[in-house]
Amino acid sequence: MDSFKNTADSSTEEKIKAAARTVFHKKGFAASRTRDIAEEAGINLALLNYYFRSKEKLFVLVMIETLTEFFGSVSVIINNPETTFEEKIEQFAAGYIDLIFREPDIPLFIMSEIRNNPEQLLQKVDIRNTVFNSVFMQQFTEAMQQGKIKDQNFLHFMMNFVGLIVFPFIGKPLLKAISGLTEEQFNMLIEERKKLIPVWIKAMMN
């Protein structure tokens, strides 16, 4: 039977996974030490291997969970049959910015780690269908056929849209260094973008 301290987030296994998440997200796989993770989790180093066998297996687990969270959360928005194309754009921008606000290390983490073995990591999470069979894409195509937006490549559109959302977080250290922005000022700037990005994107499409 489960004892009180052995459930949910308080279990040792979850503590290690959460710590691994934090450390991996911040430093990446290569720069993360299993000892860092153990210390962050407040457990003995051997326990990490007891529960997860190896650093790499633990990493893959974290990566899958991260990708699932990161792409799963949009899936709900872009596949909602109740909302219009324009509404999706607004919800997508605001929802994604909120998500990244909570976990600002994720974008750079995903981009830099996937570069090493892209297919091996990505095949475990089906992102392709999430995006290309989405209601969002159907509505994009319809809008184009009806002449509501210019004739354009969906890939360009997605690159632009996601780029406008994600890039400031990836470039944050650089931006702060060259602009002298404080953390609070940066956050305010990003907050503004929730409303601005949909406006910009619509301007680009027409």
Partner DNA sequence: AATATTTTTAATCGTTTGATTAATTTTTTA
Partner DNA sequence: TAAAAAATTAATCAAACGATTAAAAATATT
Chain positions contacting DNA, by CB under 7 A: 1-3, 5-6, 12, 32-35, 43-47, 49-50, 53-56
Name which of 32, 34, 130 is nearest 78 in CA terms: 130
Amino acid at 4: F
What is the SS3 assignment for 73? Answer: helix
Q: What is the nearest approach in angstroms of DNA to the Cβ of residue 187?
A: 32
Q: What is the nearest approach in angstroms of a copy of itself to the Cβ of residue 58?
A: 17
The listed partner (a copy of itself, DNA, none) that binds 122, CB under 5 to 8 Å by sort, is a copy of itself
Q: What is the nearest approach in angstroms of a copy of itself to the Cβ of residue 127?
A: 5
The listed partner (a copy of itself, DNA, none) that binds 171, CB under 5 to 8 Å by sort, is a copy of itself
Amino acid at 14: E
- Which residues of the chain form contacts with a copy of itself (CB under 8 A)? 27-31, 108, 110-112, 114-116, 118-119, 122, 127-128, 131-132, 153, 155-156, 159-160, 162-164, 166-168, 170-171, 173-181, 189, 192-193, 196, 200, 203-204, 206
Supply 55's token pair. 């650093």
The CA–CA distances, whole Å, from 1 to 6, 10, 36, 37 equal 10, 16, 32, 29
In contact, 180 and 189? CB cutoff 8 Å: no
